[in-house]
Amino acid sequence: MSDSEVPRHTVSVDDAPDRVERRSIVVDASAADIFDILANPSRHSDFDGSGSVRSNRATAPERLSLGARFGMDMKIVVPYRMTSEVVEFSENETVAWCHFGGHVWRYVLEPVDGGTRITEEFDWRPSKAPWFLSAMGYPEKNAVSMEKTLERLAALVDGESDR
């Protein structure tokens, strides 16, 4: 395998029995640069690996903060709208949001040798219908989407740092 064929980023898997699916990647970028992308709802469709996030609603704030509500135009088979609320926010460390279903999407940034570890979590412990999520296979489906999301986020951060 030549150097050009070696993957630049590798997503690590942490399958949790505690109803939190986690995936991580290390990116050669500062937590502040990564957080700026995560905290900007207009950028979410740029790194979404599920293919469901289309764009943010015009009422979304330019930058997320604790308690901020933001709407997204989504599509899984049919178009729909989703409004989420930021439930965790620590500048350059953690941002998390949830919607009416109760489950939480969380990003945790941690400085490590070589850059910043980004961990994405699908936390379905607070879900209002965990039986539904399980029956529909969402934990497994979301785990695959998280891997794609982290790869896209890493490429996005790499591209912006090359400028």
Indicate the pLDDT class of residue 9, thresholds 50, 70 and 90: low
Is residue 3 included in any domain, yes or no? no
- CB distance 95 to 47 below 8 Å: no
Domain count, the chain: 1
Is residue 1 included in any domain, yes or no? no
pTM: 0.83
pLDDT at 7: 40
Is residue 21 included in any domain, yes or no? yes
pLDDT per residue as tens digits for the range 18-27 = 788 889 999 9
pLDDT per residue as tens digits for the range 109-141 = 999 998 999 999 988 887 888 788 788 877 777
Is residue 9 included in any domain, yes or no? no
Domain that holds residue 97: 15-158
Is residue 2 included in any domain, yes or no? no
Residue 13: pLDDT above 80?
no
Is residue 41 included in any domain, yes or no? yes
pLDDT at 45: 80
The sign one gets for the Cα dihedral 19, 118, 41, 146 is: negative
Question: Helix axis angle, 138-161 relative to 31-38, nearest 10°?
Answer: 120
pLDDT at 154: 93
Is residue 72 included in any domain, yes or no? yes
Is residue 6 included in any domain, yes or no? no
pLDDT per residue as tens digits for the range 58-114 = 778 889 999 999 877 777 778 778 888 999 999 999 999 998 888 899 999 999 998
Residue 143: which H helix or E strand, with range? helix 138-161
Per-residue CA distances from 96 to 9, 27, 79 (Å): 23, 20, 23
Taking alpha carbons only, the member of 44, 96, 101, 102 closest to residue 73 is 44
Q: Which residues does 10 contact at the CB level (< 8 Å), separation at least 6?
A: 25
* CATH number of the domain bearing residue 34: 3.30.530.20
